[in-house]
């Protein structure tokens, strides 16, 4: 166990101005407070906060953060109070220790809703002062280093929490070395067989390629020395978890990976980085498609480096990373490398604004500081309307790789891989996304759902009258876009209900001989326990408030006809479920049709030339093709002489077999009292291990889906591809099942297919 003077000397070695007296007092106080407490391995409990402090000294953090690390468990595990910490060490350290205490009380691996709510609190806590996160990450790292002393169930729970939450947060903060170690420890316990297999394979390759790393390092150093470039060259072997994740994502064997061995060339300035790149490419063949310039376009965590893959000595593919010493420090330590935490400045004091895309101006220079990325992430995630949306958005924001695109004026927009032009629009600004209708990608007009690639220049076309349909949520990938579309959909449906409620009230008032006006109804809102007129009107439309009660509240003397039951019958008879195009068919009640995603029209809308489809029990001879059309999909009918109308999903490839003049515009018009299931087809790529099929079937069964058929095709030793024919209620039900499957660790990929 580290002695008191050793800890102080470590801090003073990189920060001579550190408060030595503060560190001494924190050391002694924590040691006495924990007293005779023991850890699971039998060691004195104080050894844990001391090791956490030691980890943070490797990151060269300030004295207040080191003192906080020593004290971080005293409120939780001893009789110490926040008031005592404030008195002895000041309110700054007191606030940090209390923030860590609150985080420790969270159980992040629980049911999904509880996990999401607890993670929301965690992010809010750490975004207020980044040092809380730094101490928490060091705390988790030491716990993972000694996790073998925990019970098996606790090991699994802590490891899953580490790989789901803390490792991605370390990556978001640019602390890649810490992320790698956290993931490796978690990988060892979560997937012991895979860990053993990968480790054994690496050992075999190490023996087969003995001396290869030293040979390549010497060859690179010699080439640079001949060119007069002063550089440090370091070789390394990739970690087991990083290798396993690439094998799983790409579905390839370890021998097929091109970057098991990595080398770093560290130079003094940026100009030398590009000189090294030229020397390396002239000396050895580069692998096409494996070059990335993160100096010109940094990652969102401020990571900067040049990556290239070469065919080096012994025909071995190796990854080469080229960076300056300053870039290397940021790459290794991330946010901990920033001077704003070492000069006595708070993050807020050092910042002059925080633009929407996450960039900030620090000490006069624009920076993509990961701290502001975190704050921006928290602001985005808190826009979710419920805990499940929050957790969904969190995973989207934390776990995706990135593509970098540009506005016409050259502004850089970083997006998750697979993002669309609509995601780009929302990244620019929420108002731009809400009004987006199409995009120009590299000068060509493209649909708003076009997937973007690195380097694309994107110009968004907007319309003042446009609002995104709810169906657009299905193709965006960022939490910001999904949240905005959901809010628009909720607000639009609410407006439609309010307008329907107003029409119902106007008709009922007229039958009672009372003139309706919004002002009259507003005067009785408090009596009816409603906050606003829109709330009341929507409640009337949803049959939550009897129309007769509203009339009596406005005009007690009015003769109220017994029409409430009749109105409910009309509402139940003519209100149909929302179809794919977003229309509520309530024309027989109020003479209107409303389109979801736009404002309610002031005048009755023209009658649509479409045919309502209720399924196989419809009066019209209808045949559903086996392509998997479900309510919520856009559908097309084809009139045939023999089969009547054949219904296809709009993306079905079989539609190409029919002339366009035979197509009929059809819409879903289902009976809510008699729901039906519809066929849908998905392809699931799962890990080839015992129990995988059972887990997949459990997800589908729990979500009330019905499996009609399963066909499995072997795709190698590690993965199995399954085609599953389902029966679902509608598109939302199908998406719920797909989302549940994608959340399972045994599932690599899920795609819906059309025939």
User: What are the catalytic residues?
Assistant: 76-77
Dihedral angle over CA of 447, 450, 454, 455, nearest 10: 0
Three-class DSSP category at 558: coil
Three-class DSSP category at 681: strand
> CB–CB of 268/322 below 8 Å?
no
Three-class HEC string of 104-119: HCCCCCCCHHHHHHHH
Q: Can you name the residues that pair with 714 across neighbouring β-strands?
A: 720
- Rounded CA gap, 393 and 483, in Å? 8
Rounded to 5 degrees, φ, ψ at 389 are -60, -40
Three-class HEC string of 34-96: HCCCECCCCCECCHHHHHHHHHHHHCCCCHHHHHHHHHCCHHHHCCCCHHHHHHHHCHHHHHH
Q: Can you name the residues that pair with 362 across neighbouring β-strands?
A: 351, 365
Q: Which helix (H) or strand (E) holds 714?
A: strand 706-714
Tokens, residue 358: 């996450």
- Rounded CA gap, 218 and 213, in Å? 9
Q: What is the largest CA-CA distance in the chain?
A: 102
Tokens, residue 449: 């759902």
The residue assigned the tokens 């987006």 is 436
C-alpha 733, offset from chain centre: 21
> CB–CB of 288/346 below 8 Å?
no
Dihedral angle over CA of 361, 363, 365, 369, nearest 10: -60
Cβ burial 666-679 (10 Å sphere, 16+ → b, else e): bbbbbeeeeeebbb
Tokens, residue 723: 């085609």
**Other C-beta atoms within 10 Å of 293: how many?**
16
- Rounded CA gap, 706 and 725, in Å? 9
DSSP result, 258-270: S-SEEEEEEESSH
């Amino acid at each position: 166990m580290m002695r008191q003077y050793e800890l102080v000397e470590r801090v003073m070695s990189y920060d001579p101005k550190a408060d030595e007296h503060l560190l001494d007092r924190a050391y002694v106080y924590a040691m006495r407070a924990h007293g005779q407490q023991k850890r699971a391995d039998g060691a004195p409990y104080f050894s844990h906060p001391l090791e956490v402090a030691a980890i943070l000294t490797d990151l060269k953090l300030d004295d207040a953060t080191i003192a906080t690390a020593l004290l971080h468990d005293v409120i939780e595990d001893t009789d110490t109070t926040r008031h005592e910490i404030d008195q002895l060490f000041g309110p700054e350290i007191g606030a940090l220790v209390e923030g860590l205490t609150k985080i420790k009380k969270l159980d992040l691996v629980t049911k999904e809703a509880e996990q999401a709510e607890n993670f929301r609190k965690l992010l809010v806590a750490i975004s207020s002062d980044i040092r809380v996160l730094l101490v928490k990450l060091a705390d988790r790292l030491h716990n993972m280093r000694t996790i073998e002393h925990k019970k098996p169930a606790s090991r699994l729970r802590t490891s899953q929490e580490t790989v789901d939450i803390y490792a991605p947060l370390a990556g978001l903060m640019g602390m890649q070395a810490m992320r790698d170690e956290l993931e490796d420890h978690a990988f060892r316990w979560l997937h012991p067989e895979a860990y053993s297999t990968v480790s054994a394979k690496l050992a075999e390759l190490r023996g087969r390629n003995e001396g290869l790393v030293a040979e390549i390092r010497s060859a690179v150093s010699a080439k640079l020395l001949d060119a007069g470039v002063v550089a440090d060259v370091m070789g390394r072997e990739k970690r087991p978890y990083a290798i396993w994740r690439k094998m799983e994502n790409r579905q390839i064997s370890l021998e097929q990976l091109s970057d098991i061995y990595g080398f770093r060339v560290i130079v003094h300035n940026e100009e030398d980085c590009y000189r090294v790149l030229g020397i390396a490419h002239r000396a050895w063949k580069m692998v096409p498609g494996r070059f990335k310039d993160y100096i010109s376009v940094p990652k969102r965590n401020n990571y900067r480096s040049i990556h290239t893959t070469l065919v080096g000595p012994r025909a071995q593919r190796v990854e080469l990373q080229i960076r300056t010493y300053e870039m290397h420090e940021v790459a290794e330590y991330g946010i901990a490398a920033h001077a704003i935490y070492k000069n006595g400045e708070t993050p807020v004091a050092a910042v002059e604004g925080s633009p929407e895309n996450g960039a900030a101006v620090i000490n006069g220079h624009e920076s993509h500081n990961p701290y502001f990325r975190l704050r921006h992430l928290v602001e985005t995630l808190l826009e979710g309307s419920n805990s499940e949306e929050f957790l969904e958005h969190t995973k989207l924001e934390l776990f995706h790789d990135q593509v970098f695109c540009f506005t016409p004026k050259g502004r850089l927009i970083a997006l998750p891989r697979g993002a669309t032009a609509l995601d780009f629009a929302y990244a620019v600004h929420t108002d731009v996304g809400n009004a987006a209708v199409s995009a120009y990608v590299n000068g060509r007009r493209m649909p708003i759902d076009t997937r973007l690639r690195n380097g694309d220049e994107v110009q968004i076309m907007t319309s003042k009258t446009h609002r995104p349909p709810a169906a657009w949520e299905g193709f965006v990938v960022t939490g910001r876009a999904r949240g905005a579309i959901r809010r628009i959909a909720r607000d639009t449906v609410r407006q439609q209900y309010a307008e329907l409620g107003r029409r119902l009230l106007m008709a009922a008032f007229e039958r009672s001989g009372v003139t309706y006006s919004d002002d009259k109804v507003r005067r009785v809102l408090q009596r009816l326990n409603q906050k606003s007129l829109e709330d009341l009107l929507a409640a009337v439309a949803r049959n939550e408030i009897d129309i007769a009660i509203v009339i009596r509240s406005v005009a007690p003397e009015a003769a109220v006809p017994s029409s409430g039951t009749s109105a409910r019958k009309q509402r139940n008879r003519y209100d149909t479920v929302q179809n794919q195009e977003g229309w509520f068919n309530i024309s027989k009640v109020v003479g209107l049709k409303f389109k979801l995603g736009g404002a309610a029209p002031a005048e009755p809308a023209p009658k649509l030339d479409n045919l309502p489809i209720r399924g196989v029990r419809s009066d019209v001879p209808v045949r559903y093709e086996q392509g998997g059309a479900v309510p919520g999909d856009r559908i097309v009918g084809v009139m045939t002489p023999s089969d009547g109308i054949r219904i296809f999903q709009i993306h079905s490839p079989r539609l190409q077999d029919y002339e366009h003049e035979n197509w009929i515009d059809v819409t879903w018009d289902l009976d809510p009292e008699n729901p039906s299931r519809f066929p849908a087809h998905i392809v699931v790529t799962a890990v080839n291990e015992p129990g995988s099929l059972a887990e997949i079937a459990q997800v589908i069964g729990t979500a009330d889906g019905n499996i009609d058929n399963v066909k499995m095709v072997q795709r190698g030793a590690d993965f199995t591809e399954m085609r599953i024919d389902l029966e679902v209620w509608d598109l939302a039900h199908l998406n719920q099942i797909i989302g549940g499957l994608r959340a399972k660790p045994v599932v690599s990929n899920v795609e819906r297919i059309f025939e």
